[in-house]
Amino acid sequence: MFVAVISNGISAQVPRATAIVSGEAWLDSKGNRITAHAGSVLFHEGHFYWYGERRGKTIDEQPGVRAYRSTDLMNWEDLGTVLSKTTTPGDTLEVGCIIERPKVLFNRKTGKFIMWFHFEDKGRGYGPAKYGVAIADAPQGPFTLVRAERPNKGIWPANAQPAEMIASYQRPEWLPESMRIISIDASDKRYKRLIDGFNDGQEARDQTVWQDEDGKAYHFYSSEMNGTMHIAELSEDYLSHTGKYVRALWGQSREAPCVFKRNGRYYLITSGCTGWAPNPAMLHVSDSIWGPWKDIHNPWQGEEAMTRVSFESQGAMIFSLPNYKDAFVFLSDRWRPKQISDSRYVWQILEFKDNHAIINWRDRWDLSVFTPPSASDGK
Ligand code: DGJ
């Protein structure tokens, strides 16, 4: 039992959670509501760290990124706000800016914790369309802002080049043979956003960062007015882009990217673009991180009324349990835009049918649903 102090000063027992119950109001070990929306989970040295958007009652009340720590994914200790907004006028992180979808990676080479997020400047709505990156020495922070800007300014994606460049273009060895490379004409309206992005930096809204087994990390972001996803390689220290990037899911208007890898293939679950309202998810697959990505299906199983709204949720991240085989947790948000702080979490496990991920709603579950590493060894 944890001991909670309630408002009249009397201590109360907070019972330990024994299951993950999607859609319920989740409490931390002190009995306070957990607020870590559109988040990510990182496993580090025996602990799960959950980072997410701290939200107040209204959409504008958002003090920064909150973190929690757990050993069982059910009982969470509040670590406080690990990336804070400031009250300094003109500061990039001045209260009023927007920080969404924070994702944290541990960089094995530098020993640093790197957070990437969607960033919007104060008072400018969702117009600036930037990414932010912050760094910390420890998983519990504090994180310090490194930069907030638009990515890949002055660089064309490898699979979409101006016609004059295509003429002498060498396909880079990292681009899959099956990848179509299109030639773009500056007067073609379909590519206006991409061309503007070349000049000003590409738009980056919903995003995630994902670390491959070889330690390389990639940034997936909805670009070109959320019409097309970009996939960009990160530098070895995970603090910037290398300039290698491609366009994916062209014109499909997908957001909320969540990535995982299984049996050497890359998978992506995305949502449609309908603001805070839920819509059908889509599972995409590719043999290479660079694509081409193929649509598979909406992974949610069940009644159409629920699958078409993804069980009233939108993806945030897919977390794979270290050392386990096929143990993936799909973290999603059930948004309540009228009182955003009351948004709920929908965490479900991925199952596999015909090699494709499916999601069967479970009212309650815990880590015992997965086969422990020792039992699956050698199978
Ligand atoms: C959908 C995005 O996925 C959320 O992160 C948020 O940006 C909302 N749109 C805002 O409408």
Ligand 1: does its nearest atom lie under 6 Å from the Cβ of 38? yes
Rounded-to-integer distance, Cα 74 and Cα 51, Å? 14
Q: What pLDDT score does 253 carry?
A: 98
Tokens representing residue 106 in the block: 């541990």
pLDDT, tens digit, for every residue of 119-167?
999 999 999 999 999 999 999 999 999 999 999 999 999 999 999 988 8
To test the pocket of ligand 1, the residue of 203, 206, 271 to mutate (highest count of ligand atoms within 8 Å of its CB) is 206
Q: Cβ atoms within 10 A of the Cβ of 183, count?
A: 14
The closest-lying atom of ligand 1 relative to the alpha carbon of residue 101 is: 5
pLDDT, tens digit, for every residue of 172-183?
999 999 999 999
Ligand 1: does its nearest atom lie under 6 Å from the Cβ of 275? yes
Q: What pLDDT score does 347 carry?
A: 98
47 CA → ligand 1 middle, Å: 29
Ligand 1: does its nearest atom lie under 6 Å from the Cβ of 352? no
R_g (Cα) of the chain, nearest Å = 21
Ligand 1: does its nearest atom lie under 6 Å from the Cβ of 101? yes
In a 3-state reduction of DSSP, which class is residue 62? coil
Rounded-to-integer distance, Cα 186 and Cα 373, Å? 54
Tokens representing residue 41 in the block: 């989970």
Label residue 59 by pLDDT band (50, 70, 90): confident
275 CA → ligand 1 middle, Å: 5
In DSSP terms, which residues pair with 246 in a beta bridge? 231
**Ligand 1: residue whose CA is nearest its atom 11:** 275
**Ligand 1: residue whose CA is nearest its atom 3:** 256
194 CA → ligand 1 middle, Å: 21
50 CA → ligand 1 middle, Å: 19
Rounded-to-integer distance, Cα 66 and Cα 141, Å? 10
Q: What pLDDT score does 167 carry?
A: 84
pLDDT, tens digit, for every residue of 306-364?
999 999 999 999 999 988 999 999 999 999 999 999 999 999 999 999 989 999 999 99
pTM, to two decimals: 0.95
pLDDT, tens digit, for every residue of 311-327?
999 999 999 998 899 99
236 CA → ligand 1 middle, Å: 29
Which positions ≥6 away from 35 have C-beta within 8 Å?
52, 53, 54, 55, 66, 341
